[in-house]
Amino acid sequence: MESHTRVKVSELLKREPGAEVLAKGWVRTKRGNKNISFVALNDGSTVKNIQIVFDMNSFSEESLKEVSTGACIAVKGELTASLGSGQSVEIQAKEVTVLGPADPDTYPLQKKGHSMEFLREIGHLRPRTNTFGCVFRIRHAMSFAIHKFFNDKGFFNLHTPIITASDAEGAGAMFQVTTLDMTNPPKKEDGTIDYSQDFFGKSANLTVSGQLEGELGALAMGEIYTFGPTFRAENSNTPRHLSEFWMIEPEMAFYDIKDNMDLAEEFIKYLVKYALENCMDDLQFLNDMFDKELIERLRSVVNTEFVRLPYTQGVEILMNSGQKFEYPVSWGTDLQSEHERYLVEKHFMKPVILTDYPKDIKAFYMKQNDDGKTVRAMDILFPKIGEIIGGSQREESLEKLESRIDELKMDRETLWWYIETRKYGSAPHSGFGLGFERLLLFVTGMANIRDVIPFPRAPKNAEF
């Protein structure tokens, strides 16, 4: 019989009244009087609660004492048409079991309207709030949509390593992985640490990007994508940086930079559209509570053609803007988020793809342009976020790649395998990386990146 199986709240709210049902979840609120009690029950399947009605002729005060905010309960009863506004059905309770009580004197989520800062301190409980329920359900939906997008296009999901011995971005700032005794590491004659005695026989770190291995995949399987955690040890305490974040990195053989931009633009629009079509309850909640323009902004991105503009012209616009920036800008400087947002929010009022950056501010692997100064990079800049995607056409010429590696005083030896793909059957190819949490900032309208990942990692912060 149905009443033995728990039915999720999301499912109950779609059902016709009539049958006996079993619901399980956490009590959000309890109110009522001597005759009747109302409990709002939430089980995380949807932002909506189901109302449980207790006729106090059938239940003693004592039996409902532990049915308090935060407690986990199981309720059996009849699904009936609701007379109250706001829901079509409710449960007339017949039986209740308290699976896990929550002491009202100490349960931290009694009141509504806690600050985001406070909720970050209770990362173990914040998924039980409406806000974080919405954000994490949307996070799931976006993750699923990403796999669907690429699978439907015939891309293969390639699992690239988490532990590597290479620094893909050449930017330093990596987390070291070692089993050496840190109080007494083995030393070489010159006094430096002897990593040949370490676990991997060489110095290793957590990956900053799966791209280099992704390129190996593209140069064999055509079109691949990675979707995994990446790690950066930069001391960046900003609302847009995490030390551990997830990145989606497609890499495609035979794509030039234009094909790359076309794919990236189609990809982001697909994801935003997917959210609008599949996450409306959650988006509506976030729109009402946090950001009244959220849904409007999402719709506008789906229907807008992104601006495509060389870096050089972008810098000219910034220099002629008359705007006072915290960081001055001139040709050759790396753009700060304030510059990116000026272009997107003030100048063009839509997403911008900036291309052909100076080679000195970009990674070694980017395809060099004939001008000798710029590379075939493309960054996608978004309202409120700044850079959401970074990508490029890759240097496929063995000679040019090697000379750039030498110029940057990087080590050809640790990259021997990467270099060999340019020696054997090299091909034009391109790819990009989408920061998953930056995408989620945009889609949820949250202001801080620490609020779109369940357990954020940031400098001095690894709780939970």
The helix or strand, by DSSP H or E, that contains position 401, with its residue range, turns out to be: helix 398-407
Phi, psi for 151 (deg, rounded to 5) = -60, -45
432 binds, among Mg ion, ligand 4AD, none (CB under 5 to 8 A by kind): ligand 4AD
As measured in angstroms, the least distance from the Cβ of 9 to ligand 4AD is 33
Q: Binding of Mg ion at residue 386 (CB under 5 A)?
A: no
249 binds, among ligand 4AD, Mg ion, none (CB under 5 to 8 A by kind): ligand 4AD
**What is the DSSP pairing of strand 386-393 with strand 429-435?**
antiparallel
As measured in angstroms, the least distance from the Cβ of 225 to Mg ion is 18
HSE-CB of 456 using CA atoms within 13 angstroms: 25
232 binds, among ligand 4AD, Mg ion, none (CB under 5 to 8 A by kind): ligand 4AD
> At which residue do the structure tokens 């399980």 appear?
24
Q: Binding of ligand 4AD at residue 228 (CB under 6 A)?
A: no
As measured in angstroms, the least distance from the Cβ of 240 to ligand 4AD is 6
- State which of residues 37, 209, 355, 369 lies at the interface with ligand 4AD (CB under 6 A): 209
Quote the CA–CA distance of 245 and 207 in Å, as a whole number. Answer: 11
Give the residue at shortest CB distance from ligand 4AD.
435
Phi, psi for 368 (deg, rounded to 5) = -80, 135
Structure tokens at 368: 């060099």
**Interacting residues with ligand 4AD between 360 and 389 (CB under 6 A):** 387-389
- x/- site string to ligand 4AD, residues 386 to 415, per CB under 6 A? -xxxxxx-----------------------
How many residues form the binding site for ligand 4AD (CB under 6 A)?
22
Q: Binding of Mg ion at residue 390 (CB under 5 A)?
A: yes
As measured in angstroms, the least distance from the Cβ of 195 to ligand 4AD is 25
- x/- site string to ligand 4AD, residues 243 to 272, per CB under 6 A? --x-x-x-----------------------
- 90-123 b/e (C-beta count within 10 Å ≥ 16 → b): bbbbeebebeebbeeeeeebeeeebeeeebbebb
Structure tokens at 212: 């280099």
Residue (97 or 235) nearer to ligand 4AD, CB: 235
Q: How far is CA 132 from CA 88, 129, 142, 370, in A?
A: 25, 6, 15, 49
From 354, 362, 360, 373, select the one nearest 310 (Cα to Cα).
354
131 binds, among ligand 4AD, Mg ion, none (CB under 5 to 8 A by kind): none
> At which residue do the structure tokens 């709240």 appear?
9
93 Cβ contact list (under 8 Å, min separation 6): 52, 53, 54, 55, 58, 59, 75, 76, 77
User: Where on the chain is the footprint of ligand 4AD (CB under 6 A)?
Assistant: 168-169, 209, 211, 232, 241-242, 245, 247, 249, 387-392, 431-433, 435, 437-438
User: Where on the chain is the footprint of Mg ion (CB under 5 A)?
Assistant: 390
